[in-house]
Structure formats: C-alpha cells, structure tokens
Amino acid sequence: MSQNVGTARVKRGMAEMLKGGVIMDVVNVEQAKIAEAAGAVAVMALERVPADIRAQGGVARMSDPDMIEKIKAAVSIPVMAKARIGHFVEAQILQSLGVDYIDESEVLTPTDMENHIDKWNFTIPFVCGATNLGEALRRINEGAAMIRSKGEAGTGDVSNAMTHMRSIGGDIRRLSALREDELYVAAKNMQAPYDLVKEVAQTGKLPVVLFTAGGIATPADAALMMQMGADGVFIGSGIFKSGDPASRAAACVKATTFYDDPKVLADVSRGLGEAMVGINVADLPVAHRLAERGW
Amino acid sequence: MRVGVLALQGDFREHLLALEECGVLASTVRRPSELAAVDALVLPGGESTAIANLARSFDIFEPLKARIASGMPVYGSCAGMILLADRVLDAAVGQETFGGLDITVRRNAFGRQVDSFETDLEFAGITNPPVRAVFIRAPWVESVGATVEVLATYEHAVAVRKGELLATSFHPELTGDNRIHRFFIESVARPALERAAVK
C-alpha cells in the first residue's frame, strides 16, 4: 500500500508526542546524554546557547553538521536544530541531515527581513516562535507544525514568556467571544488568514501544539508556563548555564509533568544549586531583544 | 468501566477524548492512587524513555508493572507499545519497560521524523474502510512469542494482541477514527474484566 510522508498530520503529530515534556538546548554529546537521562523528550543541538550568543555577539548561524550528527548518534530521543529566519538553504541542509524538527529561530541572526521560510516545501516539520496570535497564525499559514511563544532567550527572565503566553491565550479567548460576522475584521486586524482565524474561534485553541520558550530557568518557571496553557517547554540556557545541570534538568522534567501540584514542585525545587545568572529583560537595549525579530 | 490514560508525558489528551467518545469513563493517571481507581489503562504516544523515567521517579513504575502482570487490560500506542514490550532493541542506555507483552520491539524502526508517514492498513476485524495509520518515528515488532496474535502488518508486525494486552506501532488517537479504541474496550478489556469478575 502507498505511504505518504511529510503530511500535515505526520508533522503536527510529531509535536503531539512531545507534549507534557521538556526540550533542552545542548551544545555537545555529553550534554545531550545528560538531557536524555534526565527525561528530556528531545534535544536542540546548537553551537552556542542563547546566553552565550548574547554575551559573545556576532552573527549566529546554523550549527556545524558534524556536531549535529554526533548528537544524533549519541541519543535515541528526537534531535532538533535551528535555522535562521528565512534561510531556506540552512533548512534544506538540516533536512538532509535527518534532524527531526527545525526551529526557524529568532535566536539566530535573521536572514530575510520580510519573508520566513516556505515550510510547506519541506518533509521535515518546523517549529516557529510567536509573540501573539496573529504571528502564530502567519507562521502556521507558512507551514509551521508547532508554535512556541518566544519569550526572551538567554536571559533567565521569564517575564516575556509570560507576556507572550498571556497575549496568545488572550487573543484566542477574545476570538472565541466574537460573532461569526466579526471574524473578517478580526483577521484583518491581526494580519492573519481568515480561515485560520475562523478555525481558532471555533475550536478555542491553536491548530498545532503550543510550547513556551525563552527565559525559563527553574522548575517553577516551567510549571508556570504549563499552568498558563503551554503544552510543554523549551529550556535553552537555563539548564547548562546553571550550577548543577543534571539535577536541574530532571527537576524541570518532573515540574512539567506535575505542574499543578505545589507539593511536588516544592520537592523538586530543593537543592538544585545556583540557577543561571539572569539578565532583566527591561535592562536590555531594544536592539538586543531577540523576541522582536520575526514578522 | 473506568479507563485510565497514563498522563506523565505524551498525547494523553487525545486518548482521553477518543475513550470518552467511545462512551467509557476516562481519567488521567499520574499517581499510584489514580492507577488503583481504574479498570483498564492506555499507555499513550510520547517518548518512552521520558515516560519510564517519570514513572520511576513518582513511584508508579512497580505498581503499574504489577497491575499489568495481574491481568489489567492495557492498550499501548507507539511509545506505549515499547513500554508494554518484554524486549526492546535500540533502547537508550538503561531504558526500562513495564513489560508483560511477549514481543521484541525495535525503537524508531521506521526511521527518523523525515521518514514518518501515514498509510491505509488492514487490521484484523476492522475493515471497510481500512484504518488510516499514522506512524511517527514508529517502532515495529521484530518478533512475537508463540501465543501473540498479529493483527496488522506493514513490512513488519505493527499491531499485536495477547489476551488483555493490545499494542499498535501507530497512533489511532490522531485521526478521529475511534475503531481501535472501541476494539480495545469491547473486544479486549470488557471480556477480560467480565472473566475476572466471574472468578
């Protein structure tokens, strides 16, 4: 019998399997193994975590294929990798390497100041960042099979992630309250396709899985995002820039599963050593704010 | 009948919905007390390593293993199939399963995500139309014990049953077609629970 690869159902379905889990940024094989042993549902293979990209500056690009392949060989869980916004050739390369998901990410230096990648052209699924519902639906219209709220990567400050989850959730709740004949203008105002706006208004949720990213540094941060309606969390710098990555990784995994049980959260928050040194988003010059990249 | 869905990680909400649409009481299971309250269980899709880890951490691993061994009806899809298998190939270092089903499963056997696919499948007893099967980084059954029945095949066995245990490599919970959940409830779980009640 014939088989179909790369269908929307297969791409979105992959994200469904990650729900309730933690996806961790790793920069080498050793970290990838720690993440897998701690119960990560996937790893994001990259050369520098966002906190280092921020500290070192310069142009941030797709990782070295050698490094990605080593991580693929070292773990049995899915491996994701980042391409620059609009850099469809980096995405083609990552697809040929057989990574499991591509993050078209504002954490890397954007390549195209107007267009994102046409993600329907790929067999591999994409996750994209969003700060509000209109942005999320534009990415889904381009073929994104998973959305993550952006937050402000590499800060350890979860305030922007909170803002973006409130914004996406609030926009969805407002749409659900509109009359059907008001959805046309709603679509115009949020610069999103009418069909997707109508679908969200009817179902009360995004048509794809919604994770949270950007600034999550503690088990409590992860649980907060889950209580705000996230399906799961990405943790970038928060784990391997902390004092005891293995313990913190395991604690964040447990907190994401028992996000609604304060007793468990108290238990897993004990004795984790130092959290990553944070940067207050409010102190960042506007030009250094990654969440504002993407259009 | 109350059917639990192991809700440590994965697409447990889709299974809950499918079970509710089949008319049974469905509830999430994360704690031993919640496991004790259900008559049957679904192990959802997700990451089998993460789910096994969490089950260990929250002391539900052994109770669940014991319930399976004592005859609780269980259905596992994808990661759930791996968790039910007695033997796993290409496992992560130290990876554990609940076991109970006399099969050898190969993890990620159909390949990585670029190889994930959907296809029409002939499933014993469920025909017209065929089952639309969604395989995501899916395992296959490399070999089965003598008394295990193979219900569907795609290159290898992809749906198997032994007594009160049912497992599929694919994800019926993603298609809105509840025939496999119904098969589990009516043809696997209910007869097993009725037999147990007579005893």
| pLDDT, one tens digit for every residue, chain A (295 residues) | 689 999 999 999 999 999 999 999 999 999 999 999 999 999 999 988 998 998 898 899 999 999 999 999 999 999 999 999 999 999 999 999 999 999 999 999 999 999 999 999 999 999 999 999 999 999 999 999 999 999 999 999 999 999 999 999 999 999 999 999 999 999 999 999 999 999 999 999 999 999 999 999 999 999 999 999 999 999 989 999 999 999 999 999 999 999 999 999 999 999 999 888 788 888 888 888 898 898 8
Contacts of B137 in chain A (CB under 8 A): 14, 17, 78, 100
pLDDT of residue B76: 98
Residues in chain A: 295
In the block, tokens 């990648």 appear at A117
pTM of the shown model: 0.96
Contacts of A254 in chain B (CB under 8 A): 54, 57-58
Does the distance separating the beta carbons of B54 and A254 come in below 8 Å? yes
Annotated catalytic residue: which of B173, B181, B186, B194? B173
Closest-CA residue of chain B to A14: B136
Q: Which residues of A touch B107 (CB under 8 A)?
A: 76
How many degrees, rounded to 5, is the angle at CA A209 between CA A49 and CA A65?
35
Q: Is B171 designated active site?
A: yes
- Residue B177 to residue A286: CA distance in whole angstroms: 49
Size of interface A-B (CB pairs under 8 A): 132
Dihedrals phi, psi of B87, to nearest 5 degrees: -135, 135
- Name the catalytic one among B14, B78, B164, B181: B78
Q: Where are the alpha helices (DSSP H) in chain B?
A: 12-21, 32-36, 48-57, 61-69, 79-84, 179-183, 190-198
- Asked if A17's CB is within 8 angstroms of B11's CB, the reply is yes
User: How far is Cα B11 from Cα A175, in angstroms, rounded to an integer?
Assistant: 26
Q: How far is B198 from chain A (nearest CA, A)?
A: 38
Tokens of B184: 């589990």
Q: How far apart are CA A288 and CA B126, in angstroms?
A: 57
